[in-house]
């Protein structure tokens, strides 16, 4: 099938399919006119790539996982599993950092709201959050 057909069957853009091929993630045969042709396995391969991308994996990581798909064995399966766990651990660490950042931002918003409320409560004080002494 041609690249447009593969794109239509998988819901992936032609540009993405070309990118997958450039990255070594997807293979095609070329016609004498230079047109890309894919076999039926290309549909499953693209679906697999989409699942890996949806999981947040980079092209480089996906490339390292493909041997498990292409020639499954105990060694490739163990390697792929270890790599997936490693990627998951990176995400957990990143999420923890984002959570800390969000908590800090929430604290700043809370402080800002309190200062604004105090300023509105005593608009003649000259300084937000301070009251005039009489």
The domains found in the chain, sorted by start residue, are 1-71 (1.10.1660.10), 72-134 (no CATH)
**91: its two tokens:** 């995400």
pTM of the predicted structure, to 2 decimals: 0.68
Q: What angle do CA 102, 105, 107 make, to 5 degrees?
A: 110
Structure confidence at residue 134 (pLDDT): 42
How many Å apart are CA 90 and CA 11, to the nearest integer? Answer: 29
Q: What share of the chain in percent tops pLDDT 70? A: 91
Task: Decide if pLDDT at 119 tops 60.
Answer: yes
The tens digit of pLDDT for each residue in 81-94 reads 888 899 999 999 99
Q: What is the mean pLDDT of residues 17-43?
A: 93
CB neighbourhood size of 7 (10 A): 18
CB neighbourhood size of 84 (10 A): 16
Q: Is there a contact between 28 and 20 (Cβ–Cβ < 8 Å)?
A: no
What mean pLDDT, rounded, does the chain reach? Answer: 88
């Amino acid at each position: 099938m041609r690249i447009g057909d593969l794109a239509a069957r998988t819901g992936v853009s032609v540009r993405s399919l070309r990118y997958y091929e450039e990255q070594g993630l997807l293979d095609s045969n070329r016609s004498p006119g230079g047109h890309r042709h894919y076999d039926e396995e290309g549909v499953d391969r693209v679906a697999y790539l989409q699942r890996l991308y949806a999981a947040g994996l980079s092209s480089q990581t996906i490339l390292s996982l493909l041997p498990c798909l292409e020639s499954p064995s105990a060694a490739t399966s163990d390697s792929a599993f270890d790599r997936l766990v490693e990627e998951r651990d990176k995400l957990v660490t990143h999420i923890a950092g984002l959570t800390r950042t969000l908590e800090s931002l929430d604290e700043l918003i809370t402080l800002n709201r309190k200062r604004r409320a105090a300023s509105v409560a005593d608009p003649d004080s000259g300084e937000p959050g301070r009251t005039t002494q009489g």
